[in-house]
Amino acid sequence: MTTSTESTVTTTSPPARGGRSARRGFSWRWLVHGIVLVLMISWFVPILALLVSSIRTQGDAASSGWWTAFVRPLFTAYNYQLALEEVGVAGSLGTSLAIAVPVTVLTTVLSLIGAFALTRMRFPGRTALSLILVALLVTPPQITLVPLLRVYHAVGLSGTIPAIWIYQVGFTIPFGIFLVRGFISGIPAELFESASVDGATVLRTFRSIVLPLSIPVMASLAIMQFLWSWNDLLTPLIFLGGSSVPAPITVEVAGLAQQTSQGQGALMAATFLSIVIPLVLVIALQRYFVRGVLGGAVKG
Amino acid sequence: MGNLINSVPALIIIGAVGIPIVVYLLLGLGERIASVLPARLGRGVRPWLWFFGPLVLIVLILLYPLVATIAYSFLDADASRAVGLGNFAWAFEGTMLGVIGNNLVWLVVFPLVTLVLALVAAILFDRIRYERVAITLIVLPTAISFTAGSVIWTQLYSYQPSGSTQIGTFNALITLIPDVKPVPWLQTPVINNLALILIAVWLSTGVATLILSAAVKNVAGELIEAARLDGSGEWRIFWSIVLPSIMPAVLVVLTTQIIAALKVFDIVYVMTNGNYGTDVIANRMYGELFSENDLGRASAIAVILLVAALPIVFLNVIQFRAESRS
């Protein structure tokens, strides 16, 4: 609304710095800052609320809102002690790591190998293969669950962590190959030619040209895959049922949320512990995360 | 062996170091064999040698289950007897209609709200000096699982009966207004669906903003300057210059969110488990699979999800072919 009234004024004002009069520019700028500030605050407040709730006492949390902690601060680490020692969140974080770290490494390595074959080698069926991969990019995971559950039961993989590795790596490989493919096809062809003139084998070329040059895109893929694997609830819920290993952190938190017997405090502490690693990764590797999102968006 | 398979460090070393080394050694072995084969045969074999690992996984995890699920969807609960279209008839009658209706609400509201908020963020952030901080804050929730996001929002939606202290953020805010009663956000039909969608919006706006923000920065600056000199207002510039040139990015955001809305599961499972009229297809499928043990119906639901996603699959394939031809 403000912008349209502004435009009528702008037409009559002298075209100084984008054709905006100083006074109009002033009020417009405050509106921009206002909206941006509201967005920033409302996107951050829920995370702050979680942190504050996780260090409040049981009594406080049950009788007043989290924001009262700023007026009458009384903080405790008891919820974290409860979550780690009684609820077994430490074991859950371990299981999540034992799933997400190998899945991240394997997805990155296999996607690099697949993308290298797809971009640098000519073979019949290459186009068809690319099209199938594109079609699989947006397949809902639900379509794969029922038959795999039966296969995993039949071969005894059900309830094991490697079963999750295989599923999560296989499910993301089409995306991974596409992300890396776009990057590898940007490597100058002369590099490959001079390598083959020097008599380098294909494996040698892969190891000393493709691998080192692809480190940025591998970092992008790795952080995206780690986040997806760490945050996935459906896969472990389906394939890890009845397992002897501690449930991964998403399953643990979902379980705590559905039964409130351990109290809100432990749930909040467990939830905060579950988001620490992904938050630190996204902040520390933001540049690679952004590149991954953009690279995947163009292709997908 | 049992200890090994449950030990976290052992699993990490096996999966993240051991298997990659084995893959590399196998590639070396394959290359050695390919090099002693006749030249033509070697050239023919090599690509498949390299593609072998990814291909096996794709067939095992995606292609085979896809075909098998379609087959199961025509079978009964324990996949022993054909029932024709029975499972699909069940999926489009009775309580399932409400479930599908909820997914339609998700399909419309979630992509649109996310798109509008991300557009506002992308365009306004472009004009401020603290853009990096603003983008980082919006992107933070994208690191968080839908599960944790749901727990975070339970305390914002928390409800106490009228008259007692409201410890939920939203109810505390609205009861500041005189005569306004607190709302049981998660128990009131329709409002609760929107409340759940808002969680997904909070978690997804960051990625959408990143994509749109990159597109906004690519809009030709000279064009905008020229329009300003001609006296066009910001609103007009947005509709006739900015929006048309970022259209591909807008489509990417919309298709991504539509797929996400189709398969939404975590938020509903954690927040309401489908109660109070909030159930969605993916949560229903989980219920059929584990509470009812009905493979046929679970598979039919999965097939419906796949069919709903097909238009976007075709869109992607067509776009990919156009890109690779140019």
pLDDT tens figures, A218-228: 999 999 999 99
- Cβ contact (<8 Å) for A140 and B286? no
User: CB–CB of B207/B142 below 8 Å?
Assistant: yes
> Rounded to whole angstroms, how far apart are CA atoms B22 and B98?
51
Q: Are residues B177 and B289 in the same domain?
A: yes
Please, what is the average pLDDT of chain A? 87
Q: Give how many domains chain B has, as a whole number.
A: 2
Query: Which amino acid belongs to residue B37?
Result: L
Same domain (yes/no): B56, B92: no
Which residue is it, tokens 């417009």? A28
Cβ distance A46 to B152 less than 8 Å, yes or no, reads yes
Give dist(CA A241, CA A158) in Å, integer: 8
Q: What is the rounded CA–CA span in Å between residue A297 and residue A220?
A: 13
Domain carrying residue B34: 2-66
Tell if the CB–CB gap between A44 and B11 is shorter than 8 Å: no
By the 8 A CB rule, do B62 and A136 touch? yes
Which CATH class for the A83-299 domain?
A: mainly alpha
* Distance between B109 CA and the closest CA of chain A, angstroms: 19
Q: State how far the Cα of A85 lies from the Cα of A75, in Å rounded to an integer.
A: 19
Q: What's residue A12's pLDDT?
A: 37
Overall size of chain A counted in residues = 300
In a domain, B254, yes or no: yes
pLDDT computed for residue A20 by the predictor: 45
- What is the residue whose two structure tokens read 């990659």? B20
Whether B62 is in a domain gets the answer: yes
Q: Which are the contacts of A192, defined by CB distance < 8 A and separation ≥ 6? A: A120, A205, A209
Inter-chain contact A233–B266, Cβ cutoff 8 Å? Answer: yes
> B317-326 long-range CB contacts below 8 Å, 24 or more apart?
B317/A131, B317/A134, B317/A135, B320/A130, B320/A131, B320/A134, B320/A299, B321/A131, B324/A127, B324/A130
Please write the tens of the pLDDT for every residue from A137-185.
989 999 999 999 999 999 999 899 999 999 999 999 999 999 999 899 8
CB contact at 8 A, B289 and A146: yes
Q: Which residue among B137, B150, B253 sits closest to A43, beta carbon to beta carbon?
A: B137
Q: Which of B46, B57, B166, B280 should one mutate to test binding to chain A, selecting the residue with the greatest count of A CBs within 10 A?
A: B57
Whether B56 and B183 map to the same domain: the answer is: no
* SS3 state of residue A75: strand
Residue B79 lies in a domain: no
Please tell me which residue, A9 or A113, carries the higher pLDDT value. A113
| Beta carbons of B206 and B141 less than 8 angstroms apart | yes
Chain B hits for A295, CB-CB cut-off 8 Å, are none
- Quick one: pLDDT at residue B97? 93
B306 & B231 share domain: yes
Same domain, B53 and B132: no
Whether residues B55 and B94 share a domain: the answer is no
Interface of B with A in 53-72 (CB under 8 A): 53-55, 57-58, 60-66, 68-69, 72
B31 belongs to a structural domain:
yes
B300 CB neighbours in chain A (<8 A) are none
- Per-residue pLDDT of A245-284, as tens digits, reads 899 999 999 999 988 666 788 999 999 999 999 999 999 9
Please check whether residue B193 touches A, CB under 8 A. Answer: no
Give ranges for CATH 1.10.3720.10 in chain A. Answer: 83-299
Residues B38 and B156 in one domain: no
Strand, helix or coil for residue B82: strand
Task: Outline where A198-248 has alpha helix (H).
Answer: 202-205, 211-213, 215-231, 234-239
Per-residue pLDDT of chain B (326 residues; tens, 9 = 90+): 455 667 889 999 999 999 999 999 999 999 888 888 888 888 888 888 999 999 999 999 999 999 999 999 999 988 888 998 999 999 998 889 999 999 999 999 999 999 999 999 999 999 899 999 999 999 999 999 999 999 999 989 999 888 888 889 999 999 999 889 999 999 999 999 999 999 999 999 999 999 999 999 999 888 888 988 888 888 889 999 999 999 999 999 999 999 999 999 999 999 999 999 999 999 999 999 988 889 999 999 999 999 999 999 999 899 888 887 76
pLDDT tens string A157-170: 989 999 999 999 99
**Has residue B74 been placed in a domain?**
no
Task: Tell me the chain A residues in contact with residue B172 when contact means C-beta distances shorter than 8 Å.
Answer: 65, 67
Taking the CA of residue A144 and the nearest CA in chain B, the distance in Å comes to: 5
Q: What is the pLDDT of residue B4?
A: 60
* Residues B125-129: contacts with CB under 8 Å, at least 24 apart: B125/A36, B125/B209, B125/B213, B126/B213, B126/B216, B126/B217, B127/A32, B128/A32, B128/A33, B128/A36
Say yes or no for a CB contact (<8 Å) between B295 and A146: yes
Same domain, B187 and B298: yes
> Chain B residue closest to A120 (CA)?
B47
**Residue from B107, B147, B269 whose CB has the most chain A CBs within 10 Å, to mutate:** B147
Q: What is the ipTM of this complex?
A: 0.94
Evaluate whether residue B198 is within a structural domain.
Answer: yes
| pLDDT for the residue numbered B322 | 86
Q: Which of A3-7, A60-64, A166-170 has the highest average model confidence (pLDDT)? A: A166-170
Interface test with B, best of A104, A146, A221 (most B CBs within 10 A): A146
Measure the CA–CA gap between B10 and A245, rounded to whole angstroms.
14
Alpha helix (H) residue ranges in chain B? 2-6, 8-13, 19-36, 39-58, 64-72, 86-91, 95-125, 131-139, 146-157, 169-174, 191-218, 221-229, 234-237, 243-245, 247-262, 266-271, 281-290, 295-325
Q: A122: number of CA atoms within 13 Å, CB side? A: 1
Angle of helix A161-184 relative to helix A89-120, nearest 10 degrees? 40
Interaxial angle between packed helices A286-299 and B247-262, expressed in degrees from 0 to 180 and rounded to the nearest 10: 90
Sign of CA dihedral B182, B186, B187, B190: positive
Is B82 among the domain residues?
Answer: no
Closest CA to A260 of A65, A61, A75: A61
Q: Are residues B158 and B275 in the same domain?
A: yes
Same domain? For B58 and B142 the reply is: no
The CATH number assigned to the domain holding B140 equals 1.10.3720.10
pLDDT at residue number A19: 42
Determine the residue of chain B that is closest to A274 in CA distance: B148
Closest CB from A63, A98, A105 relative to B165: A63
Does residue B145 lie in a domain region? yes
Integer Cα distance of B219 and B243 in angstroms: 9
Contacts of B317 in chain A (CB under 8 A): 131, 134-135
What pLDDT, on the 0 to 100 scale, is given for residue B252? 92
pLDDT at A24 over 70: no
Specify whether B188 is located in the same domain as B135: yes
Q: Do the chains contact at B232 and A274, CB–CB below 8 Å? A: no
CB interface of B with A, residues 254-313, below 8 Å? 255-256, 259, 262-263, 265-266, 269-270, 273, 282, 285-286, 289-290, 295, 298-299, 301-303, 305-306, 309, 312-313
Q: Are B272 and B186 in contact (CB under 8 A)?
A: yes
Cβ–Cβ gap B169/A65 under 8 Å: yes
Q: What is the pLDDT of residue B5?
A: 63
State both tokens at A114. Answer: 């697949």
Question: Cα–chain-centroid distance for residue B322?
Answer: 25
